[in-house]
Amino acid sequence: MTAVTLVAACGDSGSESPVDSPAEAVEIGAEALQVLGTSESLTLVRDLEVSAEGTVWVLDDAAPFFVGFGSDGTIVGPLGQSGGGPQEFRNPVTLVRPGGQGADGIWTYDRGRHAMVRVTGGGLEPAAAAGSEAVGVPNETVPPQTLLSREAGMPGPVAWVDGGAGSVFVTYPVNGAPVGFGFWRSRVGELSIADGSLAERWDLSEMLEDPAAQYPGATEWLPVPLLAVCPDGQGWMYDPSTHTVRALPGEEQSDLTGLRSFDLPTARRTPFTAGRMIDVLLPRIIEEVPSDQRPPDDELRDFFLAQMGDVFEDFAEVFPEYYTLRCGANTALWLQNFELDEGLGGEGWRWVRIPLDDEAGPPQVVRFPDGFRAMRFTAERAWGIVRDEFDVPSVAWVALP
């Protein structure tokens, strides 16, 4: 059986946009949902990306892995066969758009090949091009199977990989650090699509306090830094210990003072218990595991409590505050709330929008319609997946307020 992925991220004090009271909240109703299209090959969507041409590409959990949707709903694919051949995929887990000349189109991180593999040039490209180009992640710096998870808490199938300014960014632990502490001591590397070289861009251990001091109840598992890179190559992170979001320094910048930072709505500091963790995990397990392969829900809950209760005691004393961090077209950062009582496996319907335009106002809480899993943001739209009454997934979008 699979388990949920739960993560949170890093930052700094001294914000430009203090928020001493709850941020302004905007609720988007179900009537705002616009369905772009669906495909029989969609079962469990792992990721979604929007190309520069406006084509929406979707990564499914099973082969054929990729489906594209034109702006008018035209379907491209499905494409991407399973296998070890030059135009086949072993275990693609995330999508990314590096941008920049020579790195155009949509790429996937194939965990089985430990490489970035081009899925498409971005537009309505023939299926034969899928998988025709690959750039390996250097094994000596980043051993296979070590990329850190994108989402809040436990390790999961979706690795943190982001793109911008013609490069791909990956995050990896050093010196055999345990999973939770590994995020706080991790490195972020920049992989050149042009020549396959990997350069260290950020050392998070230099920017973060000792996590053991921040979370004395944790031995291995604890809230961790969330990261995002914008299309222009600017990196950002959320720090759960200071509850702020801040910019990461540029390539030639060694002084961390003066970096842009943002305060957030007051942290909830939700207490952690094994029973509540099971409540978070169950919806995602139920979604991902067919009913004929798992026991009834009450038996499943009892099983996990018996088998994993001791493991959960190693978590921090509080749940992560946020689930994932995204950059939307250089216009805003989007920070997804970690939710216990709604959403899916901790993945809530509420996001904090942090405008990057100094004149756009303070952070704002945006609540998307129930069941709409927002996955990417452009300047004017949120893109994601919604399921109908027959549990069929479709690509959908809502206009941003």
SS (H, E, C) 62-129: CCCCEEEECCCCCEEEEECEECCCCCEECCEEEEECCCCCCCCCEEEEECCCCEEEEEECCCCCCHHH
Reply yes or no on whether the pLDDT at 125 is more than 70. no
Domain count along the chain: 1
pLDDT score of 202: 95
Indicate whether 111 belongs to any domain.
Answer: yes
Query: What average pLDDT does the chain have?
Result: 84
pLDDT score of 376: 97
Indicate whether 278 belongs to any domain.
Answer: no
Indicate whether 3 belongs to any domain.
Answer: no
Range of the domain at 123: 24-272+315-399
The CATH number linked to 381 is 2.120.10.30
Reply yes or no on whether the pLDDT at 357 is more than 70. yes
Indicate whether 307 belongs to any domain.
Answer: no
Reply yes or no on whether the pLDDT at 378 is more than 60. yes
Reply yes or no on whether the pLDDT at 53 is more than 90. no
Please report, to the nearest 10 degrees, the dihedral formed by the alpha carbons of residues 102, 251, 136, 7 taken in order: -110
Indicate whether 293 belongs to any domain.
Answer: no
Indicate whether 17 belongs to any domain.
Answer: no
Indicate whether 298 belongs to any domain.
Answer: no
**149: confidence class by pLDDT, cuts 50, 70, 90:** confident
Phi/psi-derived region of residue 191, left when phi > 0, alpha when psi is between -120 and 50, beta in every other case = beta
Least-confidence region, from 68-72, 190-194, 279-283, 375-379: 279-283
CA–CA distances in Å: residue 365 to residues 9, 207, 238, 372:
18, 27, 16, 16
What's the pLDDT tens digit per position in 265-295? 999 888 888 888 888 888 877 777 777 778 8
Indicate whether 230 belongs to any domain.
Answer: yes
- Are 393 and 344 spatial neighbours (Cβ–Cβ below 8 Å)? no
What pTM, to 2 d.p., does this model score? 0.89
Mean local confidence (pLDDT), 9-29? 51
